[in-house]
Amino acid sequence: MAVLKVTGLEKVFGEGRLAVTALKDIEFSVQQGELMALLGPSGSGKTTLLLCISLILEPSSGHIMINGQDIYKNGWTGVDIRCFRRENIGFIFQAHNLIPFLTAVENVALIMTLNGVSDKAAKKQAMELLEYLEISHRARALPGTMSGGEQQRVAIARALANQPVLILADEPTAALDTERGMKVMGLLKKIARERGTAVITVTHDHRMIAGFDTVRELNDGRFIITP
């Protein structure tokens, strides 16, 4: 069963003569443990697609199924979107978006406490995730004292906190140099292979996608069909 299945997805901003079609007839699926790279120039619709499948932005039409559950079918299906997203989807932002006054371990644990995990259990699991990503030595550090690569590892740990079936990463290496960027992409591959998580990564850098299972390219809101 596909972790994510998208059919006939479209997104239009505005109405009438001012309408702009950002996504047109998008269809694809991602399996458990699969790594998919989403490429395309600025303005091609990459981030819009990511926001739609992360349930942050409502599509105009189409069908989104996540983990076997219909979430959007030419309209929201009635699922508690906020709760479903928190329990099933991990999001890695380009700018990390860590809470500056919380330590690394507290940033990761917070996501679990929002889902009802006790503070003690959340911090224990957060430390295990930081160890898994080889950043536990910075567990008590504040984000402002960490390097960009270190912050991104903490952000990845946070995305894994609720054991999501799907991780979405929006230009996760854009703020990093090539070496650190390659390490972050290596971590995403490790997560997919070892945890069976489906991972979709938006990037503009073809160098970062070595070893990905699937590469899809967007242009003007449509997938480019390659021979």
The two three-digit tokens of residue 34, written as one number: 């699969």
Q: State the pLDDT at residue 152.
A: 87
Q: Is residue 189 part of a domain?
A: yes
User: 9-18 b/e with 16+ CB inside 10 Å = b?
Assistant: bbbeeeeeee
Structural domain contains residue 9: no
In tens digits, the chain (227 residues) has pLDDT values of 799 999 999 999 998 889 999 999 999 999 999 999 999 888 889 989 999 999 999 999 999 999 999 999 999 999 999 999 988 999 888 777 899 999 999 999 998 998 888 999 999 999 999 998 889 999 999 999 998 889 988 998 998 888 899 999 988 877 777 887 888 888 888 888 888 899 999 987 777 788 789 999 998 899 987 54
Q: Distance between CA 62 and CA 160 in Å, rounded?
A: 28
Residue 46 lies in a domain: yes
> Which pLDDT value is given to residue 173?
79
* 146 found inside a domain: yes
Assess if residue 126 is contained within a domain.
yes
Residue with structure tokens 């690569």?
149
Type of residue at 184: V
Task: Specify if 85 maps to a domain.
Answer: yes
Would you say 66 and 101 are in contact if contact means Cβ atoms under 8 Å apart? no
Domain CATH code at residue 157: 3.40.50.300
SS3 156: helix
Q: How many domains does the chain have?
A: 1
For residues 223 and 215, the answer to whether their CB atoms sit within 8 Å is: no
Q: Is residue 148 part of a domain?
A: yes
Across 107-186, where does the E strand assignment appear?
166-170
Q: Is residue 2 part of a domain?
A: no
The domain of 208 spans: 34-60+76-223
Prediction pTM value: 0.87
List, in sequence order, every beta strand (DSSP E) within 14-141.
20-30, 35-39, 61-66, 69-73, 89-92
Position 216 scores a pLDDT of 92
pLDDT of residue 226: 56
Tokens of 215: 């590469």
